């Protein structure tokens, strides 16, 4: 009997499109920063969903800050694979295309699941980024619109 492989959003055709887009965005820092800004705006929408776990929101915010720091050239201590997966996951977050439409009650589940999957698969690199960020916090700028993610 053939063992069924569990569903993994990262294996979908849609996410593969976002991987290709992430590769292109890595060479366009301004576009990458704009995408990170859109991800912040999208993350703020989670405030109205009470069951959203705080640690998930913190993990997503860490991914956004990692991408921002990468785009600014401030932080490069991340593998090419991790930054591509992180950018692709943020593209998925801000994209109107979704496996589960966001207007449905559980529509955020795929977005959150994908971002938490990225965080957990690159946990050691994410933790190294947090250590770097903590050491350099006085040098780190807050977005010009004063959104603070911590």
The pLDDT tens digits of the residues spanning 56-115 come to 778 888 999 999 999 989 899 999 989 999 998 888 888 766 655 555 455 566 677 777
Predicted local confidence at residue 147, as pLDDT: 44
Residues spanned by the domain of 33: 11-135
The answer to whether residue 15 is domain-embedded is yes
Domain tally, the chain? 1
- pTM listed for this prediction: 0.59
The answer to whether residue 92 is domain-embedded is yes
Structure tokens at 49: 């969903």
The answer to whether residue 146 is domain-embedded is no
Q: What would the pLDDT profile of 139-150 be if each residue is shown by its tens digit?
A: 555 444 444 444
Q: Identify the residue with better confidence: 59 or 45.
A: 59
Nearest CA to 59 among 150, 135, 134, 145?
150
Structure tokens at 9: 């959003």
Cα gap 130→150, rounded to integer Å: 11
- C-alpha radius of gyration, the chain, whole number: 15
Read off the pLDDT of each residue in 123-131 and give the average, rounded to a whole number. 92
């Amino acid at each position: 009997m053939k063992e069924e492989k569990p569903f993994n959003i990262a294996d979908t055709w849609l996410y593969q499109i976002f991987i290709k887009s992430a590769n292109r965005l890595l060479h366009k820092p301004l576009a990458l920063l704009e995408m990170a800004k859109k991800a912040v705006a999208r993350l703020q929408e989670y405030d109205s969903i009470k069951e959203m776990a705080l640690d998930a929101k913190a993990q997503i915010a860490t991914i956004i800050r990692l991408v921002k720091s990468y785009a600014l050239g401030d932080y490069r201590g991340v593998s090419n694979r991790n930054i591509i997966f992180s950018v692709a996951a943020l593209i998925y977050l801000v994209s109107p295309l979704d496996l589960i439409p966001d207007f449905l009650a559980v529509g955020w589940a795929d977005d959150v699941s994908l971002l938490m999957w990225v965080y957990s698969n690159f946990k050691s690199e994410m933790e190294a980024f947090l250590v770097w960020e903590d050491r350099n916090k006085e040098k780190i700028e807050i977005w010009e619109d004063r959104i603070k993610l911590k």
